[in-house]
Structure 1
Amino acid sequence: MSSVPDADSLRRAPKVLLHDHLDGGLRPQTVLELADESGYRGLPADDADALGRWFRQAADSGSLERYLETFAHTVGVMQRPEAIRRVARECALDLAADGVVYAEVRMAPELLTSRGTPIEEVVEAILDGFARGSADAAAAGTPITVGSLLCAMRQNDRWDEVAALVVRYRDAGVVGFDLAGPEDGFPPDRHPSAIALLDREGAHRTIHAGEAAGIGSIVAALDGAHAERLGHGVRIADEVAADGSLGPVAKRVREEQVPLEVAPSSNVQTGAYPSLAEHPVDRLHRLGFAVTLNTDNRLMSGVSATGELADVVATFGWGWDDVQTVTERALAAAFVPEAERARLLRDVVRPGFAALRS
């Protein structure tokens, strides 16, 4: 076998995904059908291929603000429980077909309430859709475990409500809390009561930080919101000198092995880095940071878990050791009971890589 994995073998490799947005991964055909069913107007194209191209081009602007505008359409067609359920089911199926064996998919339930769906029903529809999709994937011979992360929007004031939902539904498939939305001006401890509730209940959390904003945002996520993982976190590279020496925050993040949910294609699209070749994912990995590889928004970035891995492998010359390391690192960082983590490692991930290496 080649020491540099090819796309076909990477597709067959067991993959673990920690950072994938439900409203960023719809099938273009599903967007069209849901828009038709709900009377949603204003889609920029009326066939699936053209719509898929529009999403990628609109997102590929070098601006995080423009990138986020594309979500108006996906969120717009997801305002009914049956639509949410369908999108979640298809998400689980699409990830499983791509060789993902464990995924944590995030969504801000408050964004799906504008047409009157109670926020609890939104969460239940997401969980039901994931359960149906996982069952269908298992029946198709591509088993997957999907956990749900609930996001509060930083600029809104529903943090306490979302934190309470994380606690309420954590035995039903919700695995943790996230903060999404604009980093600048909306610190992750803006609603300390929500963070205190998560602390009291021992609820997991990952916080978007170090994407559009820098080191200060990372410190605030760790110290203000008690983040266990950093959503993106790539701006930690701002404290990595050319000779590999680290500033104090970078040193802390590496020493504590804080997992970085890195999504290279998304970072290039939003203008954080001019190209994949100039993205710090390889540098951080080589320096011993807890790098994981993720898709962020599969529709907007036109990526899959396999494609993201294949691009990094091709750009930086990663071998099987690198691919397996980031996969096992992601599993170690997953918000999953220890027994399930051990089962996935022993029965799925390591045998899968062993078969590909043989």
Structure 2
Amino acid sequence: MSLQNEDLGSIPEEVQRVVHAVLPRGNTVTQLRDEFGVLYNDDVVRQVFPTRGRPAVSPWRLALVTVLQFVENLTDRQAAEQVRMRLDWNYALGLELTDPGFDHTVLREFRRRLLGTHATTLLDTMLTTFQAKGLVTARGKQRTDSTHVLAHLRILNLLECLIQTMHAALNDLAVRAPEWLAALAPPTWFERSAERVDASRLPKRQAARAASFETVGRDAFALLDALDDPVCPSQCDHNEHVALLRQLLARHFERTDGGVGVLADVAVPPDEAVNSPYEPEARTASNGTTVWTGDKVHLTETCDEDAPHVITVVQTTSALVPDVAVTQAACRASSSAARPCRPSR
């Protein structure tokens, strides 16, 4: 996808005539265009897109659609439908009534490119516009609150996590050094790691479960010993799943004269507990009656009674970080902060 230069232009006359007839007083969407113009221009996100390739939908329109999508809590598919069906959206986007719109997958690609390079571009541009309009003042009050962000993962118990981490490490090594791994690994490694842990039942009896722990531990230690050997290929280094496997083994196993021993009743601090090798940074936390595994997003907004409430800072942290820990940082990050922010109750 490439960025094509496009004149922002004006609202088509036919669209203006129809919208003013149907919505003589306007609505939030039309007022957004009337009060703030196009809000964005292609220069805001120009560096996100290459100059060659298939022509893209104008980025300023995609940016505005993203804002409207959030305001109305729409999915990508629903937002793309609104572009084709809504008169007020045509008005705000400066599109002809006959414009066919775009496929909903374009929005996902737009977000991916934007978040990968300039995650705060849209927010910063909006804040600058609001400040110019006097909606965000230099001495206004602010407050910080947070909400939870769920991780899309299946929470694994320790044995499942060890098996899956071994599975992930072998998969990575099979790509990096397939010949070395094929010569090293016995068939049982792949037999034990081939099936997803949620597709089979783990041992219920204590003795059988302990035996499974020891088997996984022996396999993992043998793999790490081979990786530590000087003849190991250099491309095997910097494997994040191998690093996580080392961490889990150091915490839950010990080498003994008889082989491998499992450390019982290990108390793992909440900020170090691993729930899945595929999202090792996801943490389990609680807030009142809400318990979740994932992250936390902290939102700072203006809260003056005589002005609209505007989000000024967005911060994503570990699920374990309390609101009060980010309040001062949010105040420093916000260009409109002059008095201390206060956590929302």
TM-score relative to the length of structure 2: 0.28
Structure number with higher helix proportion: 1
